[in-house]
Amino acid sequence: MAGHELDPTTLQRVRRLALASRRRVSALLSGEFRSQFRGTGIEFETVREYVPGDDVRALDWNVTARLSRPYVKLFVESRERPAWLVVDRSASMAFGSDERTKADVAAELAGVLALAAMHDRDATGIITFKAGIDAVLTPSCRADQLERILLALHAGESEGGGEFRDAFDVLERRLLRRSVLVLISDFHAPHDSARLARLARRHDVIACIVFDPRERELAGDGLVACVDPETGRRFMLDAADARERAEYAALARAEHERRLELLRGCGAEPLEVSTQHDVVERLLAHFGARSRGGAR
């Protein structure tokens, strides 16, 4: 992890957040939610040639047909699945039209998910990035891991452009076993679809799309000065113009649908979280539906 020095006030706030999250999650978290971070109990390992006594239900018909002699699949017991939280802390995440910014929600999401994954001592790590990698914590079950994750989430301000490229570099070097990857971002910057699809073929990828309602509708009654925080481009919009409001909403809707389509096409599971959502309740609703078969 990159070195960060936090002032005592910030450190105290981080510790209070950890305690508050633990109390809330302990009160609200269901077994189904925690079980999303657990393996299925067995994982495919390899194939070998059939020998008398093998369970015929384990036959790998594709390999058998290709080699013209019977082969069986071998599995290994595996319930532990490390969790990697990949958090965007670029400038666009600093936006918020009410009390919370997208960066605040991303930090709360990551903190709650880390607490949930570590509840049964599942190894959890984090990557935060801005213009480049900001912090890397390898998944661990150590006693102070949650506080180290929270410190990484609150070190410095959101700034600069942000892409997943460098984070994917880290993951591809370090992922040695099937893992849970939670990507937390507004996904405004383009991501490498081919690499994300490659990761999703091997790992369980959840894409948490953090947004603010004002990003999807033009509100107000006059000229609105807008700036892209990552490129610096400035422009004006007229919120009093019904046609301009409609065009803005249509473009935002189209961009939103394109983002969902890209993520699903890569094999990632989208989860949308607004700056106005209660994070814990939103997660419980999503993972409750997931455990009932409502999501992948």
Across 89-103, 109-123, 221-235, the highest mean pLDDT is recorded for 89-103
| C-alpha triplet 295, 29, 33: angle, nearest 5° | 25
- Mean predicted confidence (pLDDT) in 134-141: 92
* Whole-number Å distance between alpha carbons of 1 and 107: 17
What digits encode the pLDDT tens for the residues 59-75?
Answer: 999 999 999 999 998 76
Q: Do 211 and 270 form a contact (C-beta atoms < 8 A)? A: no
**Coil vs helix vs strand at 117:** helix
pLDDT given for residue 45 in this prediction: 64
Query: CA separation (Å) from 62 to 49, 70, 72?
Result: 13, 10, 10
The pLDDT score that the predictor gives to residue 142 is 85
More confident residue, 51 or 39: 51
Torsion sign, CA atoms 34, 93, 169, 201: positive
Q: Residue range 146-154: average pLDDT?
A: 87
**Angstrom distances, CA of residue 83 to CA of 98, 199, 251, 256:** 31, 13, 35, 27
Show contacts of 256-259: CB within 8 Å, 24+ apart: 256/216, 259/187, 259/209
How many other CB atoms are there within 10 angstroms of residue 267's CB atom? 17
| Token pair in block for residue 274 | 């607004």
Q: What residue spans define the domains of the chain?
A: 8-36+81-291, 40-79
Whether 87 contacts 106, CB under 8 Å: yes
Query: Which range has the worst mean pLDDT, 53-57, 82-86, 124-128, 224-228?
Result: 224-228
- CA angle, corner 127, sides to 230 and 89, nearest 5? 25
Average pLDDT over residues 198-220: 87
More confidently predicted of 209 and 296: 209
Residue type, 245: R
- What pLDDT is recorded for position 154? 83
User: What CATH number belongs to 8-36+81-291?
Assistant: 3.40.50.410
Residue 1 has pLDDT above 50, yes or no: no
Looking at per-residue confidence, does 177 or 2 come out higher? 177
| Side-chain-facing half-sphere of 215: CA atoms under 13 Å | 22
Average pLDDT along the chain: 79
The 10s digit of each residue's pLDDT in 231-288 is 667 767 666 677 777 787 788 889 899 999 999 999 999 999 999 988 878 887 887 7
Mean per-residue pLDDT, 196-203: 93
- At residue 27, the pLDDT reads 47
> pLDDT confidence of 158, banded at 50, 70, 90?
confident
Spatial contact of 237 and 218, defined as CB atoms under 8 Å apart: yes
Question: What is the dihedral angle through the alpha carbons of 165, 171, 173, 177, rounded to the nearest 10 degrees?
Answer: -150
Which two tokens mark 4? 């960060």
pTM for this entry: 0.73
The listed range with the strongest mean pLDDT (154-158, 169-173, 251-255) is 169-173
Burial 104-121 (b: 16+ CB within 10 A, else e): bbbbbbbbbbbbbbbbee
210: pLDDT strictly greater than 90:
yes
Among 169, 233, 238, 180, smallest CA distance to 206 is for 180
Q: Which pLDDT score, from 0 to 100, does residue 3 have? A: 42
- Local confidence band at 128 (pLDDT 50, 70, 90 cut-offs): very high
Q: List all residues 6 or more positions away from 264 whose beta carbon is below 8 Å from its beta carbon.
A: 270
Locus of tokens 């939670």: 182
Paired tokens of 145:
């891991």
Percent of residues, the chain, with pLDDT higher than 70: 73
Residue 192: pLDDT over 90: no
Yes or no: say if 203 and 176 are a contact pair by the CB < 8 Å rule. Answer: no
Per-residue pLDDT at 129: 93
